[in-house]
Structure 1
């Protein structure tokens, strides 16, 4: 909050970006009643769920992970090596971006509005499972970005890989059924299984809409969460062995 204008400006930028996504859904559904079996408010609930995960990532981890690559190249990573505690945790959580966290509540409001329009009445258990799945999605997104940044230990720069994250998240705002067309096999293999950006938002959104737990999808989301996080931790610590500090 030392730089209030910067805080306000970035908060408005993120809010504008979220507004564009909501407006896009509204415009599309002026010309159709259903996309892959999803109506307007189901799609808004899906988009809102995707936004919650992304805003949480931006608020708690993004700036830290983005700076991690630069710190590795410059030798400033020594600052974290000199501290006691879990190195990956400290490097990922040094800063908090309030504008991202504040917009989490806007994303939640979109989900609540869509659920109200759909006349959904989820139970306390359903809501608890929804929150848990959103957190699983956050871990998956964090792991993908952390894995991309950790490649900096081997190469000079990884900005292209880091920014490709935003391209991948575009697919998280589409229903899984949309991948059952011409490129069903390839798209499902890449975006549902290899890079699980689709199930991150689809599984929790479907849980709210159906008010029933799909055990297979839930177990798959949990397994993917554990797998991607373990892979990110492994690559990060393998990269540490290659790191040459600023003093060496």
Structure 2
């Protein structure tokens, strides 16, 4: 583990040094993300001017849910997004040879090489939204609920990470996976909606088949109603299942990679 920690810290240090060389780019993208997050929160405020509840969720409960979803997305984009989507281009161009030649697990080095400090900075804003909403609701979670919330947010990040890897892994078999990034970003928008709002085929698709709704609703519900052992265990089981599937598919694809020399 210390070996992988050193590898990650070296990559993170490089990304931060590069950010300091292009500070204007960092500030612009940080502001763009902050503006996008603000629009999502303003949308909640506008909706609740015309209604008291949406699928049984009040205004600040919804803001807590949206803040949780944004927090998971900021962590995903900060730690993994750029590396995973660059992986598809590297496989197609043959630059993936660089990762194959690195010491250690190829999946780890290929999906954690880059971090986006602008997204990580804005994760503090998302966390602030969660804390503010909890205070407005008068919530006083104990340390067990807070630890469970943090664990479930981590599970949400791992599930999204696994789904992204599964989206990009077909690059080992097909020529291009262009268009996946925009499609997946649109799909993740559903994570900011209450689980109760989905019925019929939508519930099957976004709750059971693709758990994009579960990853944000479960931690938000933990803060609102306390730890539910059954829901927590279910989320952990889903996390293990999706991560295991991502590892399996990635390594199956890696066997088909024939390097730039081919």
**Is 1:103 matched with 2:118?**
no
* TM superposition score normalised by structure 1: 0.96
Candidates 65, 69, 75, aligned match of 2:84:
65
Tell me the residue number matched to 2:180: 161
Instruction: Work out the CA distance in 1 between the residues paired with 2:215 and 2:125.
Output: 19
**Is 1:18 matched with 2:37?**
yes
Cα deviation, residue 145, structure 1: 0.6
Question: Structure 2 matches for 1:185-224, cutoff 5 A?
Answer: 185-210=200-225, 212-224=226-238
Query: Which ranges in structure 2 are unaligned for 5 or more consecutive residues?
Result: 1-18
Query: Which ranges in structure 1 are unaligned for 5 or more consecutive residues?
Result: none
- Runs of at least 4 residues off by over 4 Å: none
Question: Structure 2 matches for 1:120-135, cutoff 5 A?
Answer: 120-135=139-154
Report the count of equivalent residues: 243
Residues 203, 218 of structure 1: 8 Å contact kept: yes
Instruction: Work out the CA distance in 2 between the residues paired with 1:15 and 1:146.
Output: 26
**Is 1:144 matched with 2:163?**
yes
Cα deviation, residue 242, structure 1: 1.1
Cα deviation, residue 53, structure 1: 0.5
Q: Which whole-Å deviations, capped at 9, do the CAs of 1:7-54 have from their partners, x for residues lacking one?
A: 111101110110000000000001011001100000000000000100
RMSD: 0.8
Instruction: Work out the CA distance in 1 between the residues paired with 2:104 and 2:182.
Output: 29
Tell me the residue number matched to 1:178: 197
Instruction: Work out the CA distance in 2 between the residues paired with 1:152 and 1:222.
Output: 28
Moved more, 234-243 or 160-169: 160-169
**Is 1:230 matched with 2:249?**
no
* TM superposition score normalised by structure 2: 0.91
Instruction: Work out the CA distance in 2 between the residues paired with 1:213 and 1:82.
Output: 44
Instruction: Work out the CA distance in 1 between the residues paired with 2:169 and 2:230.
Output: 31
Instruction: Work out the CA distance in 2 between the residues paired with 1:141 and 1:218.
Output: 17
Cα deviation, residue 185, structure 1: 2.4
Residues 149, 162 of structure 1: 8 Å contact kept: no
Instruction: Work out the CA distance in 2 between the residues paired with 1:219 and 1:88.
Output: 26
**Is 1:242 matched with 2:256?**
yes
Instruction: Work out the CA distance in 1 between the residues paired with 2:231 and 2:202.
Output: 18
